[in-house]
Structure 1
């Protein structure tokens, strides 16, 4: 396990998760991740290990900040990255939450040690299959359930039958892997409700399911974003690019560790070579029989040659590791700069959108006023027309008809 706590010192700077294209049209979906920006999207994971879930860490951070679960459960602790990301979010947000990691076998001692050192106050582990929620505190219900392994048919069935009574009306299910082979159809039938699921495809498929009926507006708007529809690309791009930073950070730390190990191995090989040369010299001084001395010398030379080859291999590998480290640092810097430039423009578009919305509201009010005036005029017109018809149909009008006719005749002469 490698810690990234030193990089966390920079993440408290304000960020703007708004970036707009040059044509001035805001991408739908990005406003779900605002206002100005959700700081949680830019947090750096403290616990970094090679994991397919690294690319989903920003989504998990954002989800905890948005939903603020009181009880959160992680099913699957063979990969501890998602559970410790959950704990980190709870810790940074100062939530009074309980985090439970569930695994059906013994959990790695390093994972246990990391949990005790950092999150012992609110995080603990339980040994169970996860197909039944017996490990939950009596009378308590889970608000967030993270499934950190491919869902089996048995688990999908349990989530549909056994679990619902132990899930709150704000409950959310987060699947960080595609279901097991043969369980895809059961997964679709159980959870792929059109207006309840947001699917994010990165290095695998992450699906966010709104299980409870009482959900925030931001979550409801998120699950309405679907692939191929406006807004989905903008939201998924934000999660994807920020998720890549976690993966790149892990690769960078791995490359640095390999470089350090290579240097240590090179130093060890040099020490062994010097020791072999010293032993050879000592034997040469002590051994009198020439034949034995010749055999020892030949053996020492062979060992010396092997050590030289190993040392040469380490020396050849050092530049490539250093170059790879520099490339990774450069790529990370370029991606952060690009994100910063893109996100800085969305805030401007947000203000423009607000101004246009206000202008449209005023125009709508004027149109409503004109409609009312038109309605009043039409009513007055109809009243006058009705009065004219009444006059034409009246007895006095018919009686005076000859007089009007005669008057017209005299005028025409």
Structure 2
């Protein structure tokens, strides 16, 4: 025996609303999954938008404030699903305003999605300002209009009534983001005026959505939805259906984003592991380079120590050579003094001969012959002295060639030091390249390299100064005996200044035969 259950008036009203609003024909659209799905505040309102498209079957739609394109491509998908051969025009505000609305500044992902899926349905435009958008919409040209207050400049709500004229009778206008508009702002006052003048449906969840019909001839299911609203508020049962389906879409988007983020994090972790392995390999390479640098520095220090020892030996040899040259100079000076004394004796003998010739004319011939013999002996002795001086000059040239050889050795040492410095520069460059990979090791290596470089520079500078001093000492020709004799026998201060200024000119211009002969024996500056 069957029992007839009587339903309460409230349950009967809910059942009637569910029958009128959620007809089986609209179920497929209610659960339609968008192709273009991103994490956007408008996602939770897509079930209501799809349901409205199923009830209204629009041919022409428009979106003012495309933003991320979630509503634009949802409308295109619904129009394509209905097979209405319609078009959806989207006005976006992505960049600077242009004199004409065109395709500039449209994000590349939106253009790509439009070309792939909705080339014949979607039309995206970069709007300059709201007035040009309103002027471009012809009256009675649209079935559905979506105004996104969050993706358009201020003043869109104030122009909503003007834009609503583009709807055909029975069309629907959505205003998204009404909860974000201040109630005392011009847009807030315009929204209040719209709600007071027209009966619609308000969804207060998230950023808020307002549905407003236009004129007469409203689709039956949309009319039933508006009729079920109490002061623009839907019954909780109906509102819950749209809200839960919308939150399900939003949850799937966020789950997909979380999965993508996880995949990206795993890829980053893998790259980090590879980078860590690369860094470890670099550390090993750096360690080996550091050990090689230490060995090279040890070799350089050993070479520097050998160079110092060689320089010390050179200094000793140069000191001994200078001492020998000093002794030779003293011997030459003694020889010259002896020659002068002999010349003085010769003059005395000649004077005596003259006196004897004057007093003893008879013995003149014998005395003259004797004097001639003495002069020849002196000439022979002078020739012998010249030969000794020539031999001494050859010995001096040999010493000079030995000094030049020592200078070449010094230059070789300097080139070796330069090569060592260049090698150290190369090692320092390699160390600096490797140090950028590991910051902790970088600071320590920089300090060590700086200290070693300063030490090397100081040692090189010290060695260079020593070599230059040695060369200067080798080039100097001291003549202490000559200077003493000049000071002793020359009393004229002007001639002394000439001697200090130009030694060769001093002896060349002298009237003394002995001075000119001495210049030939001791040339040079």
| TM-score bracket for this pair, using the shorter chain length | 0.5 to 0.7
1:279–1:204: structure 2 CA closer, same or farther, 3 Å change rule?
same
1:139–1:244: structure 2 CA closer, same or farther, 3 Å change rule?
closer
Distance 2:81 2:256 in 1: 23
Gaps of 5+ in 2: 1-6, 96-104, 298-427, 443-525
1:140–1:112: structure 2 CA closer, same or farther, 3 Å change rule?
farther
Residue 287 of structure 2 corresponds to 284
TM-superposed CA distance for 1:207, in Å, is: 0.8
Residue 111 of structure 2 corresponds to 112
Residue 187 of structure 1 corresponds to 191
CA contact (8 A) 2:164 2:173 kept: no
Distance 2:261 2:287 in 1: 38
Residue 38 of structure 1 corresponds to 27
SS of the equivalent of 2:209 reads strand
Gaps of 5+ in 1: 1-19, 305-413
Does 1:269 pair with 2:272?
Answer: yes
The partner residue of 2:14 within 27, 39, 43 is 27
CA contact (8 A) 1:126 1:135 kept: no
CA RMSD, 1 decimal = 3.3
Matches within 5 A, 1:215-230: 215-227=218-230
Residue 171 of structure 2 corresponds to 171
CA contact (8 A) 1:74 1:148 kept: yes
SS of the equivalent of 1:202 reads coil
Residue 59 of structure 1 corresponds to 48
Residue 145 of structure 2 corresponds to 145
The Cα offsets for residues 228-275 of structure 1, whole Å up to 9 and x where unpaired, read as 899611110110000001110111011101111111111111111111
1:99–1:230: structure 2 CA closer, same or farther, 3 Å change rule?
closer
The Cα offsets for residues 383-405 of structure 1, whole Å up to 9 and x where unpaired, read as xxxxxxxxxxxxxxxxxxxxxxx
The partner residue of 2:247 within 231, 244, 248 is 244
Distance 2:177 2:440 in 1: 52
Residue 157 of structure 2 corresponds to 156
> If the length of structure 1 is used for normalisation, what is the TM-score?
0.61
Residue 125 of structure 1 corresponds to 124
Larger Rg: 2
SS of the equivalent of 1:79 reads coil
Distance 2:195 2:234 in 1: 22
TM-superposed CA distance for 1:109, in Å, is: 1.2
CA contact (8 A) 2:289 2:431 kept: no
> If the length of structure 2 is used for normalisation, what is the TM-score?
0.48
Residue 70 of structure 2 corresponds to 81
The Cα offsets for residues 135-164 of structure 1, whole Å up to 9 and x where unpaired, read as 34x68611111012248773334332x435
Distance 2:190 2:139 in 1: 29
1:32–1:177: structure 2 CA closer, same or farther, 3 Å change rule?
farther
TM-superposed CA distance for 1:203, in Å, is: 0.8
TM-superposed CA distance for 1:214, in Å, is: 1.4
Kindly indicate which of the two structures has a greater share of residues assigned to helix: 2
1:54–1:107: structure 2 CA closer, same or farther, 3 Å change rule?
same
Distance 1:170 1:24 in 2: 30
CA contact (8 A) 1:27 1:231 kept: no
Distance 2:214 2:232 in 1: 23
Higher relative contact order (CA 8 A, sep 6+): 1
Does 1:92 pair with 2:96?
Answer: no
Distance 1:228 1:158 in 2: 24
CA contact (8 A) 1:87 1:123 kept: yes
